Amino acid sequence: MKRRTFIGTSAAASVGVLAAQTGNAMASKENKPLELKNNINHSACFWCYNPIPLDEFLGNLKDLGVTAIDLVGPEDWPLLKKHGVHAAMCWGAGLGIEKGWNDPKLHTELIESFTDVIPKVAEAGFTNLITFSGNRNGMDDKVGLQNCVDGLEQILPLAEKYGVVIQMELLNSKVNHKDYMCDHSLWGVELCKQLGSENFKLLYDIYHMQIMEGDVIRTIQDYHPYFGHYHTGGNPGRHEIDETQELFYPAIMKAILATGYEGHVAQEFVPSWDDKIAALKQGVAICDV
């Protein structure tokens, strides 16, 4: 192809992409309800939509046809009941992201915290409770993995008794969570294998794992029995999951469905649009395959 012809063709293609992006944004901001296919169970992480009050946000979810929310604790569960919204991933036990099960000095405090919260999750009618590995702080990954096994083994019988699934989130240590230990799928999968309990799974965050290892669809196909929950996010930037970023979420959602997964997929991108709910609406529509 001649250079001039190539440039003209490329320019036309660029205009087409920009037009598509603008059209998607305008369509998402229209006041039309979503017609969901109900193949994907949709959720959304509340922290991404601050400063919208939780009561208002729960009403927004219902208007979109989204019936679940992620990362809310026991103090907010009565409000969820009021709106008829499910907590797909509960928050409220542990010491945060940086202090986790890989540090034996924290085991006593962590065990007390999870022993308190696990029955509350079950009594509220929920299932999933998030946890974290903690940062390395110079620790070898194999040592940290064994420490996690030693600590988590002490709370899993209680989780099994109450039907609660403890889910450790896979996070990137390159951009957002420097030094975090559970930053690769295979490390987390090995932890699952050593614990050997259906009440311990991995929260596979697509955004984080795209940064650390890529090959998202193949990873889901190969290791889906160990993944109990999914989070979205656009890369780079952790914003909208549309044409502005490198992941193609319709194909990823189809791959998740092909595994037989029946849990929730939660939007965890940080909206760059002024209208945060319109951005959420677009994200849900993209993932509704």
For the cut 70, the answer to whether the pLDDT of residue 16 exceeds it is: no
Inside any domain, residue 58: yes
What average pLDDT score do residues 131-140 get? 98
**Does a structural domain hold residue 31?**
no
Average pLDDT over residues 159-164: 98
Q: What's the 3-state SS for 253-279? A: HHHHHHCCCCCEEEECCCCCCCCHHHH
Task: Say if 166 falls within a structural domain.
Answer: yes
Residue 113 lies in a domain: yes
CATH number of the domain bearing residue 103: 3.20.20.150
Percent of the chain clearing pLDDT 90 (strictly above): 88
Give the predicted TM-score (pTM) of the model.
0.90
Task: Indicate whether 56 belongs to any domain.
Answer: yes
Q: What is the per-residue pLDDT across 94-127, written as a single tens digit (0 to 9) for each?
A: 999 999 999 999 999 999 999 999 999 999 999 9
pLDDT at 32: 72
pLDDT tier for residue 149 given thresholds of 50, 70 and 90 = very high
Does the pLDDT at position 187 exceed 80?
yes
Look up residue 221 and give its two tokens. Answer: 């196909």
Say if CB 148 and CB 101 are below 8 A apart.
yes
Tens digits of per-residue pLDDT, 242-273? Answer: 999 999 999 999 999 999 999 999 999 999 99
What pLDDT band is residue 4 in, cutting at 50, 70 and 90?
A: very low
pLDDT at res. 103? 98
Angle between helices 249-258 and 216-223 (to 10 degrees): 10
Name the domain count of the chain: 1
69-98 average pLDDT score: 98
Distance of CA 185 to CAs 8, 117, 189, 212, Å?
A: 43, 26, 6, 9
Query: Is the pLDDT reported for residue 210 higher than 60?
Result: yes
Rounded to the nearest integer, the mean pLDDT of the chain is: 92
- pLDDT at site 31: 53
Question: Which of the 8 DSSP states describes residue 198?
Answer: T
Whether residue 89 lies inside any domain: the answer is yes
Q: Is residue 28 domain-resident?
A: no
Report helix, strand and coil shares of the chain as percent, to nearest 5.
50, 15, 35
pLDDT level of residue 33 (50, 70, 90 thresholds): confident
Domain range for 116: 42-287
pLDDT at 26: 46
The two counts, helices (H) then strands (E), for the chain are 11, 8
Whether 48 maps to a domain, the answer reads yes
